[in-house]
Amino acid sequence: MRIRATVAAVSGALALSALAVPAAHAATAGPNVTFSAMKVNGGKALSLGATTTAKVKATYTVTHPSTVSLAGVDTGPVLYRGTSAKDADTQVISDDPGTCTTVNSTTANCTATITLPASELYNSDAGTWKTGGLAVDKKTEAPTWQNDLGTLPVRRLAKLTADAAPEPVKKGRTLTVTGTLTRANWETGKYAGFGGQSVKLQFRKAGTTTYTTLKTVTSSSTGALKTTVTAGSDGYYRYSFAGTSTTSSVSATGDYVDVQ
C-alpha cells in the first residue's frame, strides 16, 4: 500500500504524540503487554466512497503482568498492508490512544478510533489489510508492536442504477432495462465506470418481497448495462452486483413497471 501522505498526516494525534516512536528508542524494550480480540469496524468490510473519510471503531483486549501498570502505557490498533505493523510506509495508526477499562489486575478491554481518508489512498490499496497493535511506554517512549491480529477488507464503494422502459407497457411487449455500474476512484475523488463485470438483472413481482434473477449481463468498458425482457406482470426491475475483493457489492433501487 502506498499511503499518499505521511503516516502522521493520515493518522492524527496518536502518530504525532502519544504513540509516536522516536528512532532513538527503537532498540529499547517496550511495554510487556499482549494484544488479543482485536476487532476493527465490528469485523465487517469497510467500503470507502470517492471522497469518504471513515472513522472506524476498534476494540481489543490488553493483557499484562500485574507488575505492569497500564497507567504508564498508551495502546492502540494499527492497520497495515506490509509484512509488519511497524513499517511506517504501510501503516495507519489510531487517532488517539485507546480508552481502556480494567477487567482485573492483568487484563483491560479497550476501544479506539482509526481515521482512514480515501483521499490518502491509491486505488491499488483496496483489498485485505492486516490489523496489529502498538503499545508505547509513556516515560521511555519505547514501543511494542504486535502483528497479525486479524484482517480488515477495505473496498472501493460501488454504485448501480437501473431504468426499465417503456413505462407503462403492454403485457408481452419488450422492456429494455438499462443501468450503469460505477465505483469510487480514490485517486481522482470521483466515480468511474466499472467494466467487464457480471451483473444480475432481477425482478420482484408487485406485492412480494423477494427478487428473482432473470439473467446475467456484462458491463461495458464504461460500466453501462443494457438488456431486454418480456413484460409479464407489474413489478420492480433492478440490477445487482455481487462485488469483488476490492469493490463493494451493491443493488440498484428497483424501478417499478406497470404492465397493462
Res 5: pLDDT = 37
pLDDT band (50, 70, 90) for residue 16: very low
For residue 70, give the C-alpha cell: 497500564
Per DSSP (E only), the strands in the chain are 34-40, 46-48, 53-63, 73-80, 91-93, 99-104, 107-117, 127-137, 143-156, 158-160, 163-165, 174-185, 190-193, 198-205, 212-218, 224-230, 235-241, 250-251, 255-257
Res 93: pLDDT = 94
pLDDT at 10 over 80: no
pLDDT in tens, 193-242: 999 999 999 999 999 999 999 999 999 999 999 999 999 999 999 999 99
Low-confidence winner among 3-7, 28-32, 158-162, 255-259 (lowest mean pLDDT): 3-7
Distance (Å) of CA 25 to CA 40, 70, 141: 28, 19, 7
Res 23: pLDDT = 52
pLDDT in tens, 62-109: 999 999 999 999 999 999 999 999 988 889 999 899 999 999 999 999
Q: What's the rounded mean pLDDT across residues 137-152? A: 95
Res 6: pLDDT = 33
Question: Which residue bears the cell 466499472?
Answer: 194
14, 93 contact by CB (below 8 A): yes
